[in-house]
Chain A
Amino acid sequence: MATPQDLRYSKEHEWARVNGDGAVIGITDYAQRSLGDIVYVELPKVGEQIKQFGSIGVVESVKAVSDLFTPLSGEVVEVNGALDGDPAAVNRDPYGDGWMLKLKLSNPDETKSLLSAEEYDKLAAE
């Protein structure tokens, strides 16, 4: 799966789709493939304030558990409730149906510290 050009990436394999002072967050195709069959996603609550690179949840696959870090700071305005019944969406469509949460950014400048698609691909290839 090609890494979408319009997103920004963290070294921890999360992506952010930034739109003004809002952003959608998820994990990358590389991350979902490394984890294998994802069976459960534990997300923060709506209204929670989260800090860039802080641990905000957990992604469970059949035999692994991985912390979920936020690439950006802000207030959680929505979480993807559909993942409760269909965690496989993260495997199927990591950049679409498999999105995890929406943020109202507290510091949109942080976006600059994230990687471009090209930079991220380089990292993932290592």
Chain B
Amino acid sequence: MSAPPSERTVSPLIFDQGQRGRANRYVERGKALDAFLPRNLLRDELPLPENTELDVVRHYTRLSQRTFGIDVGFYPLGSCTMKYNPKVNDTLASQHEFADLHPFVPDELAQGALQVMHELERSFCSLFGMAAFSLNPSAGAQAELAALLVAKKYFRDRGETQRDKVIVPDTAHGTNPASAAMCGFTVISLKSDTRGRVDPAEIRKVLGPDTAVCMMTNPNTLGLFEERIHEVTDAVHEAGGLMYYDGANANALMGNTRPGDMGFDLMHLNTHKTFTIPHGGGGAGHGPLGVAAHLIEYLPTPYVVRDGDRYRLDFDRPKSIGPMRSFWSNFAHAVRALAYLYANGAEGLTKASQYAVLNANYLRVKIAEFLETPYPEICRHEFVASAQRLKKETGVRALDIAKALLDRNFMAPTIYFPLIVPEALMIEPTETESKETLDAFVDALREIVETAKRDPQSLMNAPVNTVVGRVDEARAARQPDLRWDPHV
């Protein structure tokens, strides 16, 4: 991301460019609007800038050059699974017969689209040990919400409305407690043990007739496998509760072990993590929701059903929680995920998660030579290092290391998460990175740690090679400027 000094000037907003009268001619000239509607129903002005296509192309090309993606460099962002996004997936998703297919097209004219969804669903069921998946939720967080709505309705139907507690380990993603609150559940936060795991004895203490759901991920956000998971799921089931699997870390076990076999009743997938859908700068995501057999009828509508060699969208599901979104699914993403499944098959998916775990352990061992790793044991797809000792010795924090990595053409790891590790650096390399890339990252990190001991101030000023320096977040939040204003 380093740019020569001449490039490091402010990029003007599209609103400060162009001239009225430079409109591009994509459609015919329209008549004056008051030929169709009375003036009192029309707007007064439409103050949008007018730029030639060339200027627009240059503007957004320039903005792309000021943006770091996987296609630019290594992206070891813990918990986000930033693996390579194959280009063939995009080509397939954007072909005319998918892109221009209207969601209200009758089922018989959309058989191919329905087949895509059905094949994807069946494959997910086998891969993760679930009875059914809904492709309806728009992203992981929405799938979590849908799962808790399923649980709420399930308990209501069973007359167990007193179940209002959701148990969430302290290593959990922030969406877990936020989703629980949106269903009127009260959150019980569970402390991890000294090995960074959920202790079944601790969970038994909080279980009771008010237990609704226990939300976990395995491996957890420290990258550690919860090997006593069966004790947890058994205890929760004995108390009458449901187990929810947060699929954010599914890349660690895909094709090797299955949440369904661990005893989970509900789970979501972030196909934009595990199944190579591009993150697109923060979305669109795709969050399939999987359930065990006793919860199928509660899944969101519509559900794709196969009758013989015909597929259809089933809306007639009286116990369903209802739809989570305007239309059936983030369908273009289902195409991408299916293409990825075809590129791999079962064997390839198994290997993918194995290599993800291999890469994470390799990095963990190499990085342990110069940074603390609070849980020094075999990890899964990610691990957490800590800059606590370095901070004590030099004043250099996890944040400074992150910014220094940006100067060295690497994306920073996730920092200050999970919350239980001070000065956390959460690193997830994914399976698509080569040994050479991992070695280069280790070298950069080692050099940063050495610099911290010699010249800590230089790191506290980082980044210096990027288009802007460290950004004043306090100013942004104290005096919110959220839009360009034509009158200022």
Contacts and interface: CB of A to CB of B under 8 A. Distances in A.
A and B touch in the complex (CB under 8 A): yes
Interface of A: 37, 39-40, 60, 62-63, 87-88
B174 to A, nearest CB: 11
B477 interface: yes
Interface of B: 416, 473-474, 477-478
A77 B263 CA distance: 55
Contacts of A62: 473-474, 477
B424 to A, nearest CB: 13
Contacts of B416: 63
A121 B478 CA distance: 30
13 contacts: A37-B473, A37-B474, A37-B477, A39-B474, A39-B477, A39-B478, A40-B478, A62-B473, A62-B474, A63-B416, A63-B473, A87-B478, A88-B474
Contacts of A87: 478
Contacts of A40: 477-478
Given A37-B474, A40-B478, 12 more contacts: A37-B473, A37-B478, A39-B474, A39-B477, A40-B477, A60-B477, A62-B473, A62-B474, A63-B416, A63-B473, A88-B474, A88-B478
Contacts of B474: 37, 39, 62, 88
A33 to B, nearest CB: 14
Contacts of A63: 416, 473
A40 B480 CA distance: 11
B97 to A, nearest CB: 46
A1 B399 CA distance: 26
Contacts of A39: 474, 477-478
A93 to B, nearest CB: 16
A37 B416 CA distance: 17
A123 to B, nearest CB: 21
Residue with the highest number of chain B CB atoms closer than 10 Å, among A37, A63, A88:
A37
Nearest to A62: B473
A63 B478 CA distance: 13
Nearest to A91: B474
Contacts of B473: 37, 62-63
A88 B477 CA distance: 11
A15 to B, nearest CB: 23
A88 B473 CA distance: 13
A30 to B, nearest CB: 18
Nearest to B478: A39
**Top 6 closest A-B pairs, CB basis?**
A37-B474, A39-B477, A62-B473, A39-B478, A62-B474, A62-B477
Residue with the highest number of chain B CB atoms closer than 10 Å, among A40, A62, A63:
A62
Nearest to A86: B478
B151 to A, nearest CB: 27
Nearest to A39: B477
B288 to A, nearest CB: 31
Contacts of A88: 474, 478
Nearest to B479: A85
A88 B472 CA distance: 14
A118 B477 CA distance: 35
Contacts of B477: 37, 39-40, 60, 62
A62 B474 CA distance: 6
